[in-house]
Structures are given as C-alpha cells and as structure tokens.
Amino acid sequence: MAIAQNFPCELNVYEKYIGTKKKLLERPAEVFQNLSTTTDRRSACSLCISMLIITPIIFVTGLISVCSRKICNMLAPPFIKERVRIHKDAMKLLWDVSKLIKEETHTSSYHHYYTKPILEATRQNAHEFVEEIVNWFPEAIWSANEDGHNIIQYAVINRSEKVYNLLYQMSEHRNIYRTIRDSHGNNLLHLAARLAPNNKLNLISGAALQIQRELQWYKEVGRFICPLSIMQKNYFNETPQMVFTREHKELVIEGEKWMKSTAESYTITATLIITIVSAITVPGGSNQETGIPIFTNNTSFIVFAISDAISLFAAVTSLLMFLSILTARFAEQDFLIKLPTKLIIGLTTLFISTTAMIVAFGATLYLVFGQGNSRILIPIAVLTCLPITSFVTLQFPLVLDMMSVTYGRSIFGENRSFSYSGRQILI
C-alpha cells in the first residue's frame, strides 16, 4: 500500500501486481520481461516507472560516480556492489520501458506515461530519471503539474539541486527559463523565494544553516534569471525579495535564537579559559635575585610558555567573535557569509585555545613531577588526548558542516554536458 499512497498513479497497479516491489529491487529486468508480455501495457509501464522513482536505493549515482564505480567493482564490500548492480539493472529497465512506450504508443499519448513520473522524479531529485526520460521524450521537458509549474519551476520549489543543474545545462531552453512565469505571475526567483519544503529543510541541522541554504538558492536563481526579473512583481504586487522576507520571517527569528544561544554557550567557555590561562603561575618558581624562571632553559618550559600564550590569544579572539555575534543585527543577508564566518572563526580559535591550554597544563605536570622520569609522559599524553578527542567529536562536526556549506563546493557547481535526443547540449 505504501507504493500506491506515495506515488500519484491513477492505476491501482500495486494491488494488481502484488509483491512486484520486492522483485523489482532484486531483479528489475526480469520484472519488465514478465510485465511487457501482458495485454495491459500501460499498467505495466506505469508500474515499472512508478517503482523506479519511489525506490531511492536504485538511484545511488549521486553518491557513486563513474570513476568510483570502477573502484567499487574491485574494492567495495558486497552491499555496495549490490547497490551498483541494482542501479545498473534499474536504468536498463527504464530504458526498456521507454523504448516500449516509444515503439508501441502513439505520439499524442506519450504524456500519459511520463508526466507524473517525471514530476515525481523532479520532486525527489532523481536527476538520472529525468535525464533518461527527456532523452527519450524531449517534449517531457515541458511537463507541468496541476498548478502549471514545469519541471524547472518544480525543481526550484522542491529544492532539487541535481535536477536544477541538469536543466540549467540545456542552453537551448535557458532563455525561456530565465523569463518564464507561472499562473500567478511568479518568475523563477519568486519560486526560489518561497520557503523550502520541510523534508528538505530538515536535512540541514540548525536554523542558521537552513536560512543560509535558502539564501544560497535565492542567490543562485537570481544569477540565472534575466536581470529585469529580479525586481519584477507578481500578480500580488510582490517582488521576489518581498516574498523571501515574508516566507522566511520565522526562520530568520529561529536562526537568530540559534546563533545567540550557541554564542552565549561558547562565550562562557572562552571566558573560563582566559581566566585559567591568565592565572597559571610559572612552574618551579623564579630566581629570587634575577627574577628569571628556574626552568628557562628547559624544553618543557618553552612548550609551556608557548602553549599558554597561544591559548590566551586564541581564547580572546574566540570571545571577541562570539561577542560580535551577540551584538549583530541579524539581517537576512548576514546569514549567508558574515555570521557563519564569525562562528567558524570563534569555534576554531576556541578549539585551538582549549588544545593549547591542555598542552600547557601537561607541560607543567612534567616540569614539576617528571624530571628524570620520562615514563610520566605516557599518562599525561593519554589524559591530554581525552578532552581534545571529546571536543573534536562533539563540537568539530558543526565547524566542518559550516565550512563545507559556506566555503565548500557549491551544490550548484556541477558542470557536465547532457546528451539529449542525439544532440550534445553544453553550457
């Protein structure tokens, strides 16, 4: 029943071919051979296409590139090889179904087979499915849902970046995409200004990162459309920026709360570190006559002094970054680069400060208790690794996520050619 509920198909094909889902996952090509011999070809084709779309395990090439597939054949564990095999069989099945429709169906009836599947594939970001369907049926590029949105509009609404990238590369349609409007007068930027579906927002942790991803979509579509469309109003007399502000008002407030609560927590930590490293006394004391530390020429003392200084300076930098977040104005555009950068710098310097403080404390222990006994370095090193490892495990993933989203490879950066009806389409 899950198939019938999750896929908008007019035909009650799941009940008719009970157990087909499991068989399709295991041996999709065999299922097609059995179904294609039935008299109800339309039901058979609809079933195969429906199954292919709503089974995410089949479309794994977003994770497995062409090069890595070759490596998988040699080094990958069995379950990865099985996924690659399933994907290969599924694409072969899709090819067979498309060929059957092309050969035995009148041109005027093609849309009955591909319209709902290609829209569902767009919603689920199954770019390979869209590419294959458009390759067989070029007119499928103009498929529209009940609201009149075609697949590039639908891709923007559902934040399907892989499908968007695919359609972006179709240069012969690009000028149309740049100026196209829906039944309410919304251009592509109006649609990008809408709030993303919850299932896409929930893939990103933290309201601040969510609003950042929304801004990235808005900026990307803004670069793509015609410049005159940026200030274009829809039939409700709203510009894209007005729609974005209205739709994301609550998310911006949540992002502000998330940023402030995060900054407040780390501000306390940075303040404690500054207090500790400032209060550390010189181990071993100083010469009463000259005032020079007794262990000045000791390597461990040099390690202590450098680590203590690094810890103090890094903690002060971290504290300043977090304070600047607390006093920020939290405008929409600040969530794109400015605020994430401050948080990245603050967390990175806090990690450096924490690590340096622990190293300084370890060097102090060795100076006081380890002179002439190098074995004491073993427990000191082990104990030093515990808090550092805990910090990296618990806090550093957030830093990596923010660095990846802010400065990493863009989700819109994929640049490849697209074979379409025997022609090669390039940017």
pLDDT digits (tens, 9 = 90+) for 325-364: 999 999 999 999 999 999 999 999 999 999 999 988 888 8
Q: Is the dihedral of CA 51, 57, 58, 61 positive or negative?
A: positive
Identify whether residues 56 and 119 lie together within a single domain: yes
Q: pLDDT tens across 294-318, in order?
A: 656 677 788 888 998 999 999 999 9
Let me know if residue 381 belongs to a domain: yes
Query: Is 421 inside a domain boundary?
Result: no
Give the tokens for residue 110.
């093609």
Asked, for residue 274, whether it belongs to a domain, the answer is yes
Structurally, the chain folds into a number of domains equal to: 3
Same domain, 235 and 311: no
pTM higher than the cut 0.85: no
Q: Is residue 425 part of a domain?
A: no
| Residue count of the chain | 427
Query: Do 3 and 79 have their domain in common?
Result: yes
pLDDT digits (tens, 9 = 90+) for 24-71: 544 444 555 555 554 455 555 555 555 555 444 344 444 444 445 555
- Give the H/E segment covering residue 332: none
Q: Nearest to residue 353, comparing CAs of 389, 302, 402, 309?
A: 309
pLDDT in the model for residue 25:
47
| Two structure tokens written together for 398 | 């957030």
Last residue of a domain, one of 205, 229, 247: 247
Domain co-membership, 223 together with 334: no
Q: Is residue 339 part of a domain?
A: yes
Q: How are beta strands 418-420 and 423-425 bridged, if at all? A: antiparallel
**Which of 115, 353, 342, 337 shows the shortest CA–CA distance to 211?**
337
Which two structure tokens, joined as six digits, stand for 120?
Answer: 């569902």
Residue with structure tokens 């729609």?
A: 243
The answer on 242 and 263 residing in a single domain is: no
Token code pair at residue 128: 């390979």
For residue 218, give its domain range: 159-247
Binned at pLDDT 50, 70 and 90, residue 263 comes out as very high
Q: What residue has token string 């296409």?
A: 49
Bridge partners (DSSP) listed for residue 424 = 419
In angstroms, rounded to a whole number, what is the distance separating the alpha carbons of residues 111 and 134? 12
Q: Are residues 44 and 132 in the same domain?
A: yes
Let me know whether 275 and 180 are in one domain. Answer: no
Question: What Cα–Cα distance (Å) separates residue 163 from each residue in 65, 126, 166, 170?
Answer: 16, 7, 5, 11
Tell whether 128 and 197 lie within a shared domain. no
Burial 331-368 (b: 16+ CB within 10 A, else e): ebebbbebbbbbbbbbbbbbbbbbbbbbbbbbbbbbbe
Assess whether pLDDT exceeds 60 at residue 220.
Answer: yes
